[in-house]
Structure 1
Amino acid sequence: MLLPVILLLIISSFTGEICAVKKKRHDHLQQVLQSHEQESDMAMVSSANADFAFDLYKEIANHSSSNIFFSPLSISTALAMLSLGTRSATREQLLHGLHFNNMTEERTAKMNRGYKQLLQALMAERNELQLSTGNSLHIQKGNWKEPFDPTVTREAFFNVDKTTKVKVQMMFQNDWFSEISDFHLSSNVIKLPYVGNASMIAILPAEGKLEDVEQNLSREKFEEWLQRLGHRRRRFFLSFPKLSLSVSCELKNILKEMGVRDLFTDDADLFGISTNTSLKVSQVTHKAVLDIDEKSTEAAASTGIKITPMSLPPSITFNKPFLLIIYEENRNNILFLGRIKDPSKKSSP
């Protein structure tokens, strides 16, 4: 009887190992499927956020002649949360304004998951950008991967327009940058990476071409720039102004022009928030702060030797109005978008 018992034990052990392998494979498959679903949810939100960002920028630019700086993600997150308490046409207008269309119950759940997962991912990543989910945000002072040398920063002129010049503190750097020329928009585009997983691209239009660039901003153009920037690096002598801006804006009329109308009128349906039928949104305000200087968190911890070529490299000088886009690189999600017309102005209404 000893042999059957041994065989039984061997078969039982083998069967247990097979079950364990199957369970491990099943768990791995579930993790892969869950990860794929999460990426799909976040991609949906990131794509809509980019479309919303450039639409909102164009509307703000049509009403502003000064500096612009805002976080489309912060604004869209707040409005998406508000949409949970709206119904009927109010809800449809709000989601359409955020570039979420044909929103079934399943797609709405996907959108909600996407925002939650995207914000969790941004908080988990060790970015040098401090992002809050409210309507006020702050970006830490320019923690560049390649810092500017503060000893060579000096006063220079910035050409606000053909007749107006202001004095700014201009930073300088001689290094390798990802840079392209967009000949269709008569602009130079340069990438300045932050420590962590975020970067800024700065767009410098030729004189008189700023409005052309603004009107052609789109998610497709942004993705084109990123794709081209990934394949081209050159040495440049870069001149870039120090920035310290605080920009506030009232978005009620802007959103109404983007089709979000009922939310601000007596037709507003906010029954998911209150049974008070006279409830409506009175204002939507947003504030964003930007501080950029020479400093980097890596400056004190790293030592490098840079060889200056005998021939001078080409130069790019940001001494006239330009645009900037700050984004996280995993999903190219736009965190901040702005226009610098006058760096000497510390705040804009």
Structure 2
Amino acid sequence: MKLLLYSAFLSLTVTLALCGIKGLQEHFEQLGVQSLNPRGLHNNGTLSVANLSPEFHQENTVTNDLSTEGEEEEDYLDLETLFREDYDDVDIIDPDITSEFKQGNILKLFQGKTRIQRLNILNANFAFNLYRSLKDKANSSENILLAPVGISTAMAMISLGLKGQTQEEVLDSLGFTEFVNASSKYDITTIHNLFQKLTHRLFRRNFGYTLRSVNDLYIQKQFPVLSEFKNNMKRHYFAEVQLADFSDPTFISKANQRILKLTKGLIKEALVNVPPTTIMMVLNCLYFKGTWENKFPVEMTRKHTFRLNEKETVKVSMMQTKANFLATVDHELDCGVLQLPYVGNISMLIVLPYKPSSMRTLEKQLTPQLVEKWQESMTNRTREIMLPKFKLEKSYDLIEYLKKLGVNELFTQNGNYSGISEERINIEKFNHQGTITVNEEGTEAASVTTVAFMPLSAQIRFIIDRPFIFLIYEHRTNCLLFMGRVVNPNKL
């Protein structure tokens, strides 16, 4: 009985709050920079930050939904002070990867990639597996929304304090064991060092968009946490220990206010019904705000029929635009793939099955290898695009879905958390909450693909009037930020 009560008291809550996209109003209306191409890049692919005024950055890349007094400038300044080097140049290609790959082995994608890109290939592979785990338990009419990099980051943070089989299961599910085995120069510390660099890369506002990833670590007062764990959390994930009293409603209120502020008002009441017995909380907050390279004129938005399935249709607000876009057709999977770029180096991939039955096949086959094949086969044409406006709000407890991916011991009383504390603890919750809004002004994600422009006369229509999958990538790091399935644009 004493052990049972002790275990109930020392419970670990992992809360992952993520924020998706928010459309921009009157964004980049007066760019007026002649030296930049439509993606805000020079011809050599580098961004000209020097040519953009401070007023431009303040007006166009910092949201004004909530007051940022005492928070925004400090957060960005601290990171820039920590990172004096250009990590784009520091990343080198490791030539020691084995040349003998199994058929379909994801490590084949590592060739020619930087180390951060390799990490994100594995993060995307984990995301697609988790998506399938969610999809298998969801109704076919349900929308889905995930922020993969936030989930991977939270799990990597926790793995710092895991030992034995508990750690092995987490690392295996994330693909990190494969990563370490890919080169004699890699070890687990390599993974955490790369997450450190990735956090820096995902903390931008002078690239034509606002993107931030913030990690927090709350610990109940008097709970003994090992110094090594605390130091590593701060070093690799910028998560400095903050003492908390989870039984105090004031703490919950303040924590929710911080999340509300970090997500510019999009994530409300992230922490609800937090057990007073909680002794530690890991929080990852991801926020993105960007604008389309080619906006959808508001006056062109019309009501249009959207096919939910073979029998049902609904009327949705359909946006329209006409410009040059990259796209391809996958005849084997019976789908079209469209890339919608945002200002900066981010884009959204729309994957549109031609028949409702093709969605199930596509979801089973979705892999990083497939996405790379699509991107390599894309051509640039003038296209007329029709895309529904939509907003998704989703919240999941990921424990059952992670168990399907082989993460079992982590969620039992046999979990080995000896790298966190000498006390016995277990994870009670692993919450994931996100929201995304897509409208005429923008959303998130970007793509920097160099393809020669085709004649304007080669016009093709791409009408997204049936269920589709979306993937939002930051292309410098090959990072999958958000992904989801839109079955009904009229539902959250």
Instruction: Please state how far the C-alpha of 1:129 moved relative to its aligned partner.
Output: 5.0
SS of residue paired to 2:374: helix
Alpha-carbon distance between aligned partners in 2 of 1:296 and 1:256, rounded to the nearest angstrom: 36
CA distance in 1: counterparts of 2:154 and 2:88, whole angstroms: 30
Q: TM-score normalized by structure 1?
A: 0.80
Kept in 1, the 8 Å contact 2:91–2:116? The answer is: no
Match of residue 251 from structure 1: 398
The answer on 1:94 being equivalent to 2:94 is no
Asked if residue 271 in structure 1 is aligned to residue 351 in structure 2, the reply is no
Q: 2:381·2:460 contact (CA, 8 Å) conserved in 1?
A: no
Distance 2:332 2:122 in 1: 25
In 1, are the aligned partners of 2:382 and 2:458 still within 8 Å (CA)?
no
Classify the secondary structure of the residue corresponding to 1:36.
coil
Secondary structure of 1:132's partner? strand
Q: 2:467 aligns with which of 321, 329, 348?
A: 321
Q: Aligned partners of 2:393, 2:88: CA distance in 1, in Å?
A: 43
CA offsets 1:62-96 (integer angstroms, 9 cap, x no match): 11121111111000000000000110000000111
Query: What CA distance in whole angstroms lies between the structure 1 residues aligned with 2:287 and 2:114?
Result: 28
**Structure 1 position 34, deviation (Å):** 4.1
Worse-matched range after superposition: 152-161 or 199-208: 152-161
| CA deviation vs aligned residue, 1:262-320 (integer Å, no higher than 9, x gap) | 0101110111112122x1111211112111111159xxxxxxxxxxx8x8943221111
C-alpha contact (below 8 Å) 1:192/1:199 kept by paired residues: yes
1:117-266 matches, within 5 Å, as 117-124=197-204, 126=207, 128=209, 130-133=211-214, 134-140=283-289, 143-207=291-355, 208-229=357-378, 232-266=379-413
- One-letter amino acid of the counterpart of residue 132, structure 1: S
Q: How many residues get paired?
A: 301
Q: Distance in 2 between matches of 1:44 and 1:32?
A: 14
1:331 Cα shift?
Answer: 2.7
2:69 is aligned to none
CA RMSD across the alignment: 2.5
CA distance in 2, matches of 1:288, 1:205: 25
Per the TM alignment, residue 326 of structure 1 is displaced from its structure 2 partner at its CA by 0.3
Shift of 1:154: 1.0
What is aligned with 1:339? 485
User: Paired residue for 2:188, among 94, 108, 123?
Assistant: 108
Contact 2:348 2:472 (8 Å CA) reproduced: yes
Q: Distance in 2 between matches of 1:32 and 1:175?
A: 31
| Partner-residue secondary structure (3-state), 1:211 | helix
Q: 2:131 & 2:313 partners in 1: Cα distance?
A: 25
Name the residue aligned to 2:136.
62
Structure 2 unaligned segments of length 5 or more: list them.
1-86, 95-112, 215-282, 444-455
- In structure 2, what is the Cα distance between the partners aligned to 1:254 and 1:32? 35
- Alignment of 1:48 onto 2:122: yes
Deviates more, 1:165-174 or 1:319-328: 165-174
Report the equivalent of 1:22.
none
CA contact 1:137–1:289 (8 Å) conserved in 2: no
| CA distance in structure 2 between the aligned counterparts of 1:312 and 1:179, rounded to whole angstroms | 13
Identity of aligned residues (%): 30
Contact 1:136 1:288 (C-alpha < 8 Å) held by counterparts? no
Correspondence 1:330 to 2:476: yes
Q: 2:159 aligns with which of 83, 86, 95?
A: 83
Structure with a larger share of its residues in helix: 1
Determine if contact 1:263/1:281 at 8 Å carries over to the other structure.
yes
CA distance in 1, matches of 2:402, 2:465: 32
CA contact (8 A) 1:135 1:285 kept: no
Residue identity matched to 1:120: H
Distance 1:126 1:33 in 2: 18
Name the CA distance, whole Å, in 1 between partners of 2:171 and 2:422: 21
Query: What is the TM-score when the length of structure 2 is the normalising length?
Result: 0.58
On the 8 A contact 2:133/2:401 being kept in 1, the answer is yes
